[in-house]
Structure 1
Amino acid sequence: MATFDDPFDPARRLTRAGCSCGRHASEAEHDAALALDGEARLARVVEGAVMRALFPHDATRRAFLRTVGASTALAAVAAALPLGFAAEALAQGGPLEKKDLKVGFIPITCATPIIMAQPMGFYAKHGLNVDVVRTAGWAVIRDKTLNKEYDAAHMLSPMPLAISLGAGSSPIPYTMPAVENINGQAITLSVKHKDKRDPKQWKGFKLAVPFDYSMHNYLLRYFLAEHGIDPDTDVQIRAVPPPEMVANLRADNLDGFLAPDPVNQRAVYDGVGFIHTLSKSIWDGHPCCAFAASKEFVTSMPNTYGALLKAIIDATAYAHAPENRKQIAEAIAGQNYLNQPVTVVEQVLTGTFADGLGNVVKEPNRIDFDPFPWQSFAVWIMTQMKRWGQVKGDIDYRKVAEEVFLATDAARLMEENGLTPPERTYKPFSIMGKEFDPAKPDEYLAGFAIRRV
């Protein structure tokens, strides 16, 4: 009968030369080897987790490994998602490298989890002292994070992709480990256009979006083009910071906008606009804003990054529950955060709202909170960047998507917070009846009649 040989048995330490296992010249070398073995074991755990995320079905995963070999497969995975960085992010229980953090946000309901995590104690729960800083616009958010004035930030979900690709700035590796909200936008028009509900009547309109690299811009352009309106020649689209949109609508500088909330609801509240279309009617379940950080922050402060991401996903899970929305509205409506009447914020978060046309609409999924960063979202966003000439040349869609949208980290922490992450990271979806297959992005892009490429 075989016996278990315990290398840590004190009796064995006395009978072996050099070290307790007899394979090293000294006990110090033995301990160092154990540490390396521990790192190797963690790396193997991470490798396995990444492979399972990419190939959730056992038969498919085994067939892939048989075809290309384990070492080749892991090398390919490591190129897409550096395993050392993933292992650091997965490390548990280590001391926080930094507890006092600054996280920038734009005062819109898309930032709800990032904002509410301060007054409702989610950051403190995870050992962090986070100062959430109201910021004027997206270019300022981008610049302050790139200059390291902010440790992390609320960003539009296309922004980390644009920063990583060098669209609009020098390329800097950026990550998006969590989506902040899905849906939560709308097309709002001036009250003077209540008789122009057909987009074909919008030629010559002056329209606004929050930023060039935004879901708002891509969804508005998509919506217009599907109605036969060329967004570059038939209308004017300009970038306007969300806090300035309602004032510009009131001053007749704009005919409308596709904006994040509470901007749309505030236009109704002030009597200057009406909600023409919720963005969920264009693409139900689309991503909007996100929690983002530089790859440098993630890799140099893995424990702080892990605690920050956990706090935000914890807050996102709380915001997902409809019964918590009124409490959240009260917590984030104040001057330091959204600076809006509680009524406005509550109408957005609960989905029971006045539309400016005399109706009270009940749409519970007007906005929702789901942190999973589907990598197929990233692929779709990049097709629209190419469609409208923001990026040129070939894109390795899958590589960029997996380097920026950190689905593995999000999935692990979603499970810890009682959410059920999906078993895969890519999925097809439909936008205004047009199917998108993330495995065929160039074929999808070529199918548009109105495009710049």
Structure 2
Amino acid sequence: MTEHFSPYDADRPLMLKCSCGQDHSAADHRHEAAAVELRQRSLTSEFEAYSNEFIEATLVKALFPQDAVRRRFLRAVGKSTALAAISSVLPVASMQALAQDAGKKAGSLEKTNLRIGFIPITCATPLIMAQPLGFYKQQGLNVEVTKTAGWALIRDKMINKEYDATHFLSPMPLAISMGLGSNATPMNVATIQNINGQAITMSLKHKNNRDPKNWKGFKFAIPFEFSMHNFLLRYYLAEAGLNPDTDVQLRVVPPAEMVANLRAGNIDGFLGPDPFNQRAVYEEVGFIHLLTKDIWNGHPCCAFGTSTEFIEKNPNTFAALYRSILTAAAMARDPKNRELIARVIAPQAYLNQPEAVLNQVLTGKFADGLGNIKTVPDRVDFDPMPWQSMAVWMLTQMKRWGYVKGDINYKQIAEKVFLITDAKKYMKELHQKVPEGAYPKFSIMGKEFDAAKAEQYAKSFDIRKAG
């Protein structure tokens, strides 16, 4: 059996001192220096081989999680052919290079065993896939990604320090930091996990009632109050002339229970995360009325973040987490990787969904439940930039709908919570393209949003919470 070099072997002394204990001659010194250099090169080569084999084994195991299936596959095609096939669609060489670089950084980590919470939805794709594909391990981290039942539980576990970091709805760190719905606890958004990727899904009984002006009295599910789902659904209904607080009922329902509630007739529709919009079509109980990209193309949804306290106490560990998530996001952005990613995140430990459903979501070629096959490549995307103007927009909606009373220093809160400077720093470290600015303008249903005019924007809507 081949013995591989372990990164921990670097701590062992290299017994190169002369056994006689006497001063060496110049020739002996040169000989010793040459021996040290040779040994260092050998260790580097052995570590690179260890890292490369680890990455290769991790990829094969992630794509073929069942031992018997994996063994049959490797016997049938051979290791070299299997790795060549995987390398044609996954950035194996880049991953191996990152793994080698991580070996140099792992020793400075304050904490290596981490628990990260997630809700089993496609929004969490980068955070989830980083575990089976080895991106956390590349950075010297031993991460347990923990499936969690609902967003209130995610919030509570972060406040109680049961999780080190987590999958957030992107408005949640703003709300928690401000003490909205919980004790004020400073939280931060490190990256946006996904943009777009949501839909309004309606019961099949409403397939001939597509005009939202006719939806007065309807019941809709949203996953959490401090969510883009809530804010986008409210925006959409209000643009159609309906007051979401008085003309319809909005109910908080965990994403995994939305399809069952639609089937039971408890709700008329939901604005929720995938894969549950596509799952409703798959189970023939609903249709996709509208993708949220048609409300705001490029809107944020979920985020990856942690507490300000964790960052302050564990800056190197936080940096390692950042690099892991950014590496996963870069891979997820490439459309050619989406089918393989669907296979990686489909198992019971992660999303526990049919690959066919996840493929439709991630590739953007999907059935809409009305007899049509749609092709929308950017149905979901994975741009990690935590734009501070996105945070300001969320705050304007909190103000618009009465979640926040009184004056708000929009810019101050956005810059405190959304860590765009850090995101750019670590993207640059990873040689990723770094965009400029922090406050781009956006268009939501044809209306421009400029963060510099936040208060004016919040007050510009005819339908809003009184007071």
Q: Per the shorter chain, which TM-score range? A: 0.7 to 0.9
1:430 to 443, 447, 454: 443
Structure 1 residue 417, shift from structure 2 partner: 3.1
| Aligned residue number for residue 129 of structure 1 | 142
Residue 310 of structure 2 is matched in structure 1 by 297
The one-letter code matched in structure 1 to 2:422 is D
Matches of 1:316 and 1:182, distance apart in 2: 11
Paired residue type of 2:155: R
Are residue 224 (structure 1) and residue 223 (structure 2) matched? no
Runs in 1 of length 4+ with deviation above 2 angstroms? 415-419
The counterpart of 1:180, out of the listed 193, 196, 200, is 193
Matched with 1:109 is 122
SS of 1:186 mapped into structure 2: strand
In structure 2, stretches of 5+ residues that fail to align are 1-104
TM-score (norm 1): 0.79
Give 1:413's aligned residue: 426
Q: Is the 8 A contact 2:106 2:139 kept in 1?
A: no
Superposed CA offset, 1:337-392 (max 9, x none): 00100000111000000000000000000000011100000000000001111111
Q: Unpaired segments of 5 or more residues in structure 1?
A: 1-91
- If asked which structure has higher relative contact order (CA below 8 Å, sep 6+), I would say 1
Residue 200 of structure 2 contacts residue 291 of structure 2 at CA under 8 Å; is this kept in 1?
yes
Amino acid of the residue matched to residue 408 of structure 2? I
Q: In 2, are the aligned partners of 1:269 and 1:344 still within 8 Å (CA)?
A: yes
- How big is each residue's C-alpha offset from its partner over 1:32-89, in whole Å with a ceiling of 9 and x where there is no partner? xxxxxxxxxxxxxxxxxxxxxxxxxxxxxxxxxxxxxxxxxxxxxxxxxxxxxxxxxx
1:356 to 364, 369, 373: 369
- SS of 1:440 mapped into structure 2: helix
Counterpart in the other structure of 2:353: 340
Choose which of 357, 367, 372 in structure 1 pairs with 2:385.
Answer: 372
Q: TM-score, normalised by structure 2?
A: 0.77
- Are the aligned partners of 1:372 and 1:421 in contact in 2 as well (CA < 8 Å)? no
Match of 2:452 among 420, 439, 445: 439
Mapped contact 1:197–1:276 kept (Cα < 8 A): yes
Give the corresponding residue for 1:50.
none
The residue correspondences of 1:287-326 to structure 2 (distance < 5 A) are 287-326=300-339
Aligned equivalents of 2:187 and 2:407: distance in 1?
20
| Deviation, structure 1 residue 415 | 2.4
What is the SS of the residue equivalent to 1:131? strand
How far 1:427 moved relative to its partner?
1.1
1:197 Cα deviation after fit: 0.4
Number of equivalenced pairs: 363
SS at match of 1:290: strand
SS at match of 2:369: coil
Q: Report how far residue 93 of structure 1 moved.
A: 7.1
Counterparts of 1:375-390 in structure 2, within 5 Å, are: 375-390=388-403
Matched residues in 2 for 1:361 and 1:440: separation? 37
Cα deviation code 1:245-294 (max 9, x no counterpart)? 00100111010000010010000000000000000000000000000100
CA–CA separation in structure 1 for the residues paired with 2:149 and 2:393: 28
Distance 2:224 2:430 in 1: 32
Deviation at 1:416, TM superposition (A): 2.9
| Post-superposition offset of 1:94 | 6.1
- d(CA) in 2 for partners of 1:275, 1:93: 46
The one-character-per-residue Cα deviations of 1:187-244 (angstroms, maximum 9, x if unpaired) are: 0000110011000111111001100000000000000000001101110001100001
1:223 is matched by which residue type in structure 2?
Y
Q: 1:131 to 1:93 in 2, by over 3 A?
A: closer
Identity of paired residues, percent? 64
Once the two structures are superposed, the pairs formed by residues 34-53 of structure 1 within 5 Å of their partners are none
| Residues 376 and 438, structure 1, Cα contact 8 Å, conserved in 2 | yes
SS in 2 for 1:370: coil
User: How far off its partner does 1:170 sit?
Assistant: 1.4
1:65 maps to what in 2? none
Provide, for residues 159-203 of structure 1, a one-character-per-residue CA deviation record: whole Å limited to 9, x for no partner: 000001111111111110110000000000001100110001111
Contact 2:106-2:140 at 8 Å conserved across structures:
no
Q: Where does residue 329 of structure 1 map in the other structure?
A: 342
Q: Which residue of 2 aligns with 1:283?
A: 296
The one-letter amino acid paired with 1:351 is G
Secondary structure of 2:182's aligned partner:
coil
